[in-house]
Structures are given as C-alpha cells and as structure tokens.
Structure 1
Amino acid sequence: MGRIGIWNTAFLGDAVLTLPLIRTIKAAFPDSPIDFYVRKGVESLFTAQPELDNVYGYDKRGTQKSIFSAMCYGRELAQKEYSLWISAHTSLRSGVIARWTSAHTRIGYNKPLFNNWLYTTTVDRKFPELEEIDRLMQLVKPLSITKTLDWPEMVLPQSAYDEVDTFWSKHIDSPVLGVHPGSVWATKRWPAEYYADVVAKAIDAGAQVLVFAGPGEESMAQEVIDKSGAQDSDRLIDLSGALTLVQLAAYLNKLNCYVSNDSGPMHLAWAQRTPVTAIFGPTVRELGFFPRGEASTVLETDIECRPCGLHGPKTCPKGHFNCMHSITPDMVWNDAKKKLFA
C-alpha cells in the first residue's frame, strides 16, 4: 500500500471520532504515510498524532466552497498519487474531490446515491443502527482489515501539556470542574442559570471551577459567572476566549470532571479519558455521537419530540425547550460530584 488520504471535513467532533479509523488503518498498513484532511481551523489539534504524516485544513466555508474549487483541489491532490482514499464525509463536494484525486481505491458511503459514481467502493453507513465510530469502521471492511481500534488516543504537542502543568502548579490545589456553556446550535445550550447553579455547588463543595468558551461564546460564559455569584471567588478561573484549540484540549485533559453540552469540546474531553457529564437536549444518544467510556455520562430526558434534528435547530420547534429545562442542576451536580471527588 502506498500513500493514504483520509478525509473528514465535518465538525470538530467528527474529526476526533475519525481517529480510531486512522489508528486502525495505520496498524494495518504501518509503512504507508497517512494524510488527514479536516475542516480549516482544527488541523492544529492533530499535528502531533503519531499515525499521521501530514494534516491539511480545507476551507469549505471560504475560498474552497464551490464545486469548481473542489474539482481543482482534487486535481491538485492527484499529484500526491494516493493509493487509497477514504472519505468519512458524505457531501457532493467531498465526493468530487475524492473522484479527482484519481486514487486507485476510493472508499466512501453508498448514500447519497451520487457517491456510487464518485468512489470505486461504497459501503452502507448503517445509520442509525451503529454508533458513529462503528459506522466509520464500515469504511475499512473492503480492505479485509480484521483488527479495529476503537479509542481515539488523541495526542497533543508536548508543549501544550507542559503549559497546562505549569498553570496547574500555580493555580490548582483542589479537584477541578470544567464547564463549557457554549454551542454553535442554540438549542444545545443548557440554560445559563442551570450552569451557574452547578458552578456555585462545586465551589461550595470545595472544588475549583474553570469556565471555558470559544470565540464568540464569551458572553455566554460571563452570564454563567455572573449568575453563579462567584465573580469574585478565587475558586473560579475564567478562561473564556483565552485559549487556542490545542490549549483547550490540553486543559480538558487535566480536569477531574467536565460538564458540557453536546459539542465538539465534549469529544476532546472524553477522547482523553477525562470524566464527562454531557447534557443532551435536542439530540439523543441513539444518534451515535455520544461520549464513550465508563467515566462518561449522558444526561437526557424522555420527551416525545426528541430528537428534533441531527444537530439541533436554532430554536425549539415546539416553543417549550423542555428537553433542556427538564434536566435540572441537581441531576447534573449529582453526577458530576461523584467524578470530582472520586
């Protein structure tokens, strides 16, 4: 086997979930260089991954958005002479790029229907029968690979771990709860006052709290801090908007517990075996994108209208938002405190 290209330009969490597939491919073809193609902006997370030779970001929302750009990019990639191309993304744009790479073997999913003309081999994704990692493993079946590796084993640059160790030695002397109230999708956000209640409970119990937020989410974090009544507490550290993606992942690696919505950072946490308390409202565990491992918990309630989409809409279609309101702060705290003080 020669050079291998693996493509998943969906969201951050999807790229993390692709790591078991990458590890499986590398174990089967240890001498083959592997290039990983991800959504532009997340490539820095994977540069230290030992299975990968190169990581490239694709600007699917910017300069490389059009189908014509996809064709041109595919032709450019053809110069790399890939022997194997595996695409975990189902869009037409991804299929066009795969076709124009001219890789000898191109494996993708058999739906949408046009994929059957763009790939040399297609497989059934089995959605929603399988969890997402297992769906991704369908893509190796045509290669007769019998041993699969089902954990991401994310590896970050050593400098990121060192930076966090320094922070911990200066600021941390107790179990640490991390909270991340933001999400790209509004209906995935547990109410700020609920997060604030959990923050207050954690501080009262003797824990320290780190508040995280990505670019554009700072106001959400500030609302939680303000409503917690812990604005002036030295037990709370506000890291909202202060970290790169790699730094965020390294901080999550050190937490005793991470409370999060169904989001990309949630996957960064459990993939590093950080105990996670995940709050699922419009999405459900059965969709297959949940945190794995014994230290992970998905909190959700049985409401007839769930799920209301693969990602969650901007507003509640029913107007009541009961899927999130019915998950109480006590429910979350009762789960999180077991992990914090284990």
Structure 2
Amino acid sequence: MKALVIGPSWVGDMMMSQTLYRMLKAEQPDRIIDVMAPAWCRPLLSRMPEVNQALAMPLGHGALELGERRRIGKALRDSHYERAFVLPNSFKSALVPFFAAIPQRTGWRGEMRYGLLNDIRKLDKDAFPLMVQRYAALAFPADKIRQASDLPELLWPRLEVAEQEKIETAAQFGLHGERPIIGFCPGAEFGPAKRWPHYHYATLAAELIQRGWQVVLFGSAKDEPAGEQIRTALTDEQRVWCHNLAGKTQLEQAVILLAHCDAVVSNDSGLMHIAAALDKPLVALYGPSSPDFTPPLADKARIIRLITGYHKVRKGDAGEGYHQSLIDIQPERVIAELDRLLAPTAERE
C-alpha cells in the first residue's frame, strides 16, 4: 500500500500529524508514506522514520492556483498511490489527490469537499476533542472509530536525532560541555499575548546559571529581540552563559540543539511541540491559548496555566502587550517544575 498525505502548514500541526503516520505503519508495517507539505517541513519529516519521502508543496498557504494544483496532481499519477489522507480542512488542500486520481481519498468534511474526497468524514468535535485524535482517527474505517475512546493507544510524535549530530552542532554554535543546557523558547505566534514575560525568563535564567546551567534561547528571527531583552536583563557575568540563537539557526539545527538540551521551557509554540517530540523534560507555559486542543504530547511535559477556557486574545492588556495570566506565572513555580522533572536525572547521576 502506497499512501500520500497532504500535510499541515504549521509546525505544531505537522508534529501532531506524525501520530497518524505511526498509527498507519503500526497497522500495516510495509505501507509506504509520502508527505506533501511546504518545503520548510523537510527537516521535521526527515526525522520521522515512518515517512518515506517529503514532497515539497510549492504553493503558498493561501493560494488556490487551480491550474498549478492540477499540474502537480497529474504529475503524481505515475507514483501509483492507492490512498490519500488530506489533513488540512480547506477545499484547495484536497485538489492535488483528486487530480492525481488516487482511488481512496480520506479526510474530514471541512469546506464542503464532496467529490474531491470519496472517504469523507463528518467531524463531531466533542467526540474528538484533541487535534491528534482527529488525525489518528483517519487511519481507521469511519464505522470503527466514532469517538476518541474507540481509538487504540495513540503513538505520540517522536523525532530521531543522532548523538553525533548533537555534539557537532553544539560545537558549531560554541556550546561546549562545561555546563549542561536548558533551552528557552520565548517566542510565540501573534506577538506577546502568548509569551511569558521576558523579565520572568531573565529571572529564571539567572537562577539556573547560578545553579551551574547554561541557557540557550531558540526561535525565529522575529524572536531575536525578545531573546535580547532576556540577555540584557542579566549581569555581564550571567550573559556569558546565556546564548541567544533566535534567528541564527535553521530549523534543522534548532531541532538538533533542542535534542541536546537537558530540559526546555517554552511558550505555546511550534518549538514546544518539537521539544515534546524529542521527549525532553518540558515546562509549557500557557495563557490565553488553551492546551485543551493541542497540548504537548509527552510524558515528561508539564503544563502551567492559571486560567481556563480559550481566550481569543491577540494583544495582552498588561504592560508591553503581555497577558496578565502569563505575568502571574512566577519564575519560582517554573523552577519547582523543572526541579521535579530533572530529579530522576540527578538521582541517576
């Protein structure tokens, strides 16, 4: 059986989609799975052993470009896919498998995709409250899985990184072995409303450095100023052990370096889901966004959130755009969670 998956376009969603691939392979180990997704996804897909190859989707997230999707689909006909799984809910995402004439095309109904999908599922959101459950359910016949409790035990996302890669990449960025590393992911989509305040991160960094750790800050180029705010709040002596790599790494390098960390502290972000898939001890900090739909999928993850429900907030109402619920999470609470997560490691040593 050869299958094509039309993958998501966001880091966190892409990570959760690995559960589908793992479930498909568990059901049929000789199944070949190719994933079509934006080119930036390749560093993630290449570390998922269930994925045979990543196919770059050259069109932008919002582009319909019907003619180009027809061309891409027809070009895939010689690949002889027997099954397609369409994970995004948009109309346009179902076009390529349709034009590729893949016999069975599975997905949730989404934007009225009758005809494009011929194994179309009607989603009961209450029956499948988590996104990862909705992905996993597509691996099974619709009449077998009517709610999340019908699913077998979920196989959570797990990325593979070799030890030698960690050593070589750490050396490339000057992260030598004098001190163990705690990773911080201080960025988040849509600005500071989903971010733990930089001054709390700085307080946490200072305490960890005092205890003998070094701190590495991860993120995209737009997170670099937030990282500098954290470093600026430290003393000169402390800044020696705090490295701002936001905007300085490719995604591939960030994945490897996160795998090199002993633990990670993160806002609700794509990097949080990567850290969870690397099975790192993880403290995930939530404010207005909710972990009820897309939590970090790892036994070693601890979520700190002081409010309930989902709040569609783009800009916090407190100083510098932060949300009060995140301001109220004190560094001491995060340190306590880290201590509990790292205690088994310390006991082994």
Shorter-normalised TM-score: what interval? 0.7 to 0.9
Which residue matches 2:332?
Answer: 330
Matches within 5 A, 1:142-221: 142=141, 149-156=154-161, 160-164=165-169, 166=171, 171-186=176-191, 187-221=193-227
Q: 1:158 to 1:67 in 2, by over 3 A?
A: farther
1:274 pairs with one of 263, 280, 296: 280
**Do structure 1's residue 89 and structure 2's residue 73 form an aligned pair?**
no
**Which deviates further from its counterpart, 29-38 or 318-327?**
318-327
- Report the alpha carbon displacement of residue 61 of structure 1 after superposing the two structures with TM: 2.3
Corresponding residue SS for 2:221: coil
- Report the alpha carbon displacement of residue 224 of structure 1 after superposing the two structures with TM: 1.1
Letter in 2 for 1:137: A
- Report the alpha carbon displacement of residue 206 of structure 1 after superposing the two structures with TM: 2.2
CA contact (8 A) 2:281 2:300 kept: yes
- Aligned Cα RMSD in Å? 2.9
**Partner deviation per Cα, 1:95-114 (whole Å, 9 max, x = no partner):** 222322211110000233x1
1:231 & 1:10 partners in 2: Cα distance? 41
**Partner deviation per Cα, 1:212-263 (whole Å, 9 max, x = no partner):** 2222221111111112335754322332222221111111112221011111
Q: 1:315 to 1:65 in 2, by over 3 A?
A: farther
**Do structure 1's residue 238 and structure 2's residue 250 form an aligned pair?**
no
CA contact (8 A) 1:160 1:246 kept: no
Corresponding residue SS for 1:140: coil
Which residue matches 2:303?
Answer: 298
Which residue matches 1:228?
Answer: 234
Structure 1 stretches lacking a partner, 5+ long: none
Corresponding residue SS for 1:163: helix
Which residue matches 1:15?
Answer: 14
Corresponding residue SS for 1:42: helix
CA contact (8 A) 2:186 2:219 kept: yes
CA contact (8 A) 2:276 2:296 kept: yes
Letter in 2 for 1:118: L
Corresponding residue SS for 1:183: coil
**Which deviates further from its counterpart, 38-47 or 79-88?**
38-47
Q: 1:157 to 1:330 in 2, by over 3 A?
A: closer
Letter in 2 for 1:127: K
2:120 & 2:328 partners in 1: Cα distance? 41
**Which deviates further from its counterpart, 192-201 or 151-160?**
151-160
Corresponding residue SS for 2:72: helix
- Report the alpha carbon displacement of residue 172 of structure 1 after superposing the two structures with TM: 2.5
- Report the alpha carbon displacement of residue 162 of structure 1 after superposing the two structures with TM: 4.6
Which residue matches 2:116?
Answer: 118
Which residue matches 1:261?
Answer: 267
Give the TM-score of the pair, scaled to structure 2: 0.85
1:262 & 1:126 partners in 2: Cα distance? 25
Which residue matches 2:132?
Answer: 133
Corresponding residue SS for 1:118: coil
CA contact (8 A) 1:11 1:39 kept: no
Corresponding residue SS for 1:102: coil
Q: 1:50 to 1:239 in 2, by over 3 A?
A: same
Which residue matches 2:148?
Answer: none
CA contact (8 A) 2:287 2:307 kept: no
Matches within 5 A, 1:98-109: 98-109=97-108
Give aligned-pair identity as a percent: 22
1:294 & 1:40 partners in 2: Cα distance? 30
Q: 1:147 to 1:292 in 2, by over 3 A?
A: closer
1:216 & 1:320 partners in 2: Cα distance? 16
Letter in 1 for 2:333: M
1:189 & 1:174 partners in 2: Cα distance? 27
Q: 1:79 to 1:157 in 2, by over 3 A?
A: farther
